[in-house]
Amino acid sequence: MKTLDDLIAEGVAGRRVLVRADLNVPLDGETITDDGRIRAALPTLQALTGAGAKVVVAAHLGRPKGAPEPRYSLAPVARRLGELLGADVALATDVVGESARATVAGLADGGVALLENVRFEARETSKDEAERSALADEYAALADAFVSDGFGVVHRKQASVYDVAAKLPAYAGGLVLAEVDVLKQLTGEPARPYVVVLGGSKVSDKLAVIESLLPKVDAILVGGGMCFTFLAAEGLGVGDSLLEAEMIDTCKRLLADNPGKVLLPADVVIADEFSADASTHTVLAANIREGWKGLDIGPITVERYSEVIAGAGTVFWNGPMGVFELAPFAEGTRGVAQAIVDSPAYSVVGGGDSAAAVRQLGLPEDGFSHISTGGGASLEYLEGKQLPGVAVLGA
């Protein structure tokens, strides 16, 4: 697999380099609420501009339906990227059309252009390989080389991630290399005990990774909405909490087949409504009231989970412990995250909401060994799946 360093060693001054980055940041209107993914893209972009390349960045934002939607424009991202780079970033008003061609043609050596949201093009995510290939040809016409640096999308077989790598000399960016190296550590011989902290809404979303990890880890600490299906599997009432009734038997099997390995909340924070102004109580997991819903793990659980984390050699965390975006339900996530920071373990935050929680709750990012930019990609790698966007680079 050729790398960014290889490309720069070959010489990039005056050459057009297409970089697939992951700039899918959360927005409040046009305000970026977490620029972590933009910051993560900077080292690769700066290495290329510093070497005199004409850098063309491709990225997506949100989930538009294959056509332009103003709320998903990358304009706010272009502005923030320009601020962080200390230079103007030209934004094309289309993906591969007249504006894209003109914007790229106008680039000076060391300049940066951003194509409009690639998912404004229906062919980007098409299941039809011929359609994706045709779009990839148009991407390739804009550049002389391709750098894959959007780890958050390498598990997708999409035109700007996978197909274009077959059309241009392709290289792995520094971010993709770092992410894969970290995941290799987790799937190789991780320091023991190996503890996984899993949150999120649904057991069904995490079932594959749970089943893959259980034979390999020493403990899985469960939080988030998914914990209530596990509690129901233990015969407890969960009130109006999130529940996947069709997954209860599966959870029963997982608990029975792995005695003592799957830890569940001993207490939870319940509320009468999903609101920052809701009435709340902390109750034992066995005492969730009818008509109330669990929205966070409680302090007893935080203490128990923290004790397990404190003795760990490796910790992988994916998914918040509660609805951390609302203050009354943030303390479970904060407490468990702080325990990971305080632990001497090699610790990996599996991207997505977990990475957002670290920044929103004001936790020190350098308190973790690694904060991934790709939650879905991390989970699929840990499941043992091939990541198309990495495989195509020759990995």
- Nearest residue to 351 via CA among 316, 389, 302, 322: 316
**Sign of the Cα pseudo-torsion (63, 184, 225, 283, in order):** negative
Amino acid present at 290: E
**Would you call 352 a catalytic residue per the annotation?**
yes
Flag whether 334 is marked binding: no
322: its two tokens:
């509660």
Flag whether 126 is marked binding: no
Helix (H, G, I), strand (E, B) or coil at 56: strand
Flag whether 18 is marked binding: no
Buried b (16+ CB within 10 A) or exposed e, 356-393: bbbebeebeeebbebbbbbbbbbbbbbbeeebbbbebb
Flag whether 22 is marked binding: yes
**Would you call 376 a catalytic residue per the annotation?**
yes
Flag whether 24 is marked binding: yes
Query: At CA 99, angle to CA 93 and CA 102, rounded to 5?
Result: 140
Flag whether 156 is marked binding: yes
Flag whether 353 is marked binding: yes
Flag whether 362 is marked binding: no
**Would you call 37 a catalytic residue per the annotation?**
yes
Q: Where are the beta strands (DSSP E) in 1-86?
A: 16-20, 27-28, 31-32, 54-58
DSSP tag of 313? S
Flag whether 16 is marked binding: no
Flag whether 354 is marked binding: yes
- Nearest residue to 111 via CA among 145, 88, 91: 88
Q: Where are the beta strands (DSSP E) in the chain?
A: 16-20, 27-28, 31-32, 54-58, 89-91, 112-114, 145-148, 170-172, 194-198, 219-222, 262-263, 267-271, 280-284, 293-297, 314-318, 346-349, 370-371
**Would you call 253 a catalytic residue per the annotation?**
no
Flag whether 119 is marked binding: yes
Q: Which of 39, 79, 202, 385 is catalytic?
A: 202
Task: Write down the residue that tokens 């934004």 correspond to.
Answer: 91
CA dihedral 70, 71, 72, 75 (to 10 degrees): 70
Flag whether 63 is marked binding: yes
What is the number of other CB atoms lying within 10 angstroms of the CB of residue 109? 13
CA distance 188 to 19: 30
Q: Which of 15, 20, 37, 334 is catalytic?
A: 37
Q: Which of 352, 374, 375, 389 is catalytic?
A: 352
Flag whether 351 is marked binding: yes
Q: Which of 66, 97, 367, 376 is catalytic?
A: 376
What stretches of 61-214 show up as alpha helix (H) in DSSP? Answer: 75-85, 98-105, 129-140, 174-187, 203-213
Flag whether 135 is marked binding: no
Flag whether 37 is marked binding: yes
Active-site residue set: 37, 202, 352, 376
Query: Which residues carry a binding-site annotation for substrate?
Result: 22-24, 37, 60-63, 119, 156
Query: Which residues carry a binding-site annotation for ATP?
Result: 206, 294, 325, 351-354
Query: Which residues carry a binding-site annotation for (2R)-3-phosphoglycerate?
Result: 37, 119, 156
Query: Which residues carry a binding-site annotation?
Result: 22-24, 37, 60-63, 119, 156, 206, 294, 325, 351-354
